[in-house]
Structure 1
Amino acid sequence: MKKFLIAAAPLALLGACSGGGSDSLQAGEWTMTTTMTDIEVPGMPEEMVAQMRESMGDQANTETECITDEEAANPLEGMFSNNEMGENCDFGDSTFEGGVINISATCEAPGGQPGTATMAIEGTYTATTMEAEMSVAVEGGPMEMNMSGTMSGERTGECEA
Structure 2
Amino acid sequence: MKKFLTVAAIGALVAVAGCSGKGENAGGTAKREAGNWKTDVKLVKFEVPGMAPEMKTQMTQMMEGASGMDQCLTQEQVDKEDVAAELAKGGGECKWSKKEVGGGKIDVAGTCMQNGQTVDMAMTGTMAAKKTDVTITTKGKVPTGGDMEMVMQMTQTHTGPCKAATTT
Question: If the length of structure 1 is used for normalisation, what is the TM-score?
Answer: 0.71
Q: Residue 151 of structure 2 aligns to which amino acid in structure 1?
A: S
In structure 2, the residue matched to 1:139 is 141
CA apart distance, 1:116: 0.9
Question: How far apart are 1:80 and its partner, in Å?
Answer: 5.5
Quote the Cα distance in structure 2 between the aligned partners of 1:12 and 1:141.
23
**How far 1:104 sits from its partner (Å)?**
0.5
1:26 aligned to 2:53? no
Using the alignment, how far apart are the partners of 2:148 and 2:105 within structure 1? Answer: 27
Q: Deviation per CA, 1:44-83, whole angstroms, max 9, x where unpaired? A: 16xx2x4344333376232547554222xx31313662x4
Q: Is the Cα contact below 8 Å between 2:72 and 2:167 reproduced in 1?
A: no
Match of 2:48, as an amino acid? V
Say if 1:10 and 1:151, in contact at 8 Å, map to a contact too. Answer: no
1:120 to 110, 119, 122: 122
Instruction: Give unpaired runs (5+ residues) of structure 2.
Output: none
Q: Where does residue 80 of structure 2 map in the other structure? A: 70
**2:67 matched to 1:60?**
no
1:11 Cα deviation (Å)?
Answer: 3.0
Q: Distance in 2 between matches of 1:106 and 1:65?
A: 31
Answer yes or no: is the 8 Å Cα contact 2:25–2:31 preserved in 1: no
Distance 1:6 1:80, change over 3 A: farther
Evaluate the alpha carbon distance shift between residue 154 and residue 3 of structure 1 in structure 2; reply closer, same or farther with a 3 A threshold.
farther
Give identity over the alignment, percent: 19
By how many angstroms is 1:136 displaced? 0.3
Q: What do you get for the CA RMSD once the two structures are aligned?
A: 3.1
How far residue 35 of structure 1 moved from its aligned partner, in angstroms, is 2.5
Q: Which region of structure 1 is more displaced relative to structure 2, 2-11 or 146-155?
A: 2-11
Task: Rate the CA distance shift 1:119–1:125 in 2: closer, same or farther, 3 A.
Answer: same
Q: 1:39 aligns with which of 46, 51, 74?
A: 46
Cα distance in 1 for partners of 2:95, 2:87 equals 14
Provide structure 1 residue ranges, at least 5 long, that are not aligned to the other structure.
Answer: none
- How many residues are paired up? 149
Q: Report the counterpart of residue 94 of structure 2 in structure 1.
A: 89
Partner letter of residue 38 of structure 1? Answer: K
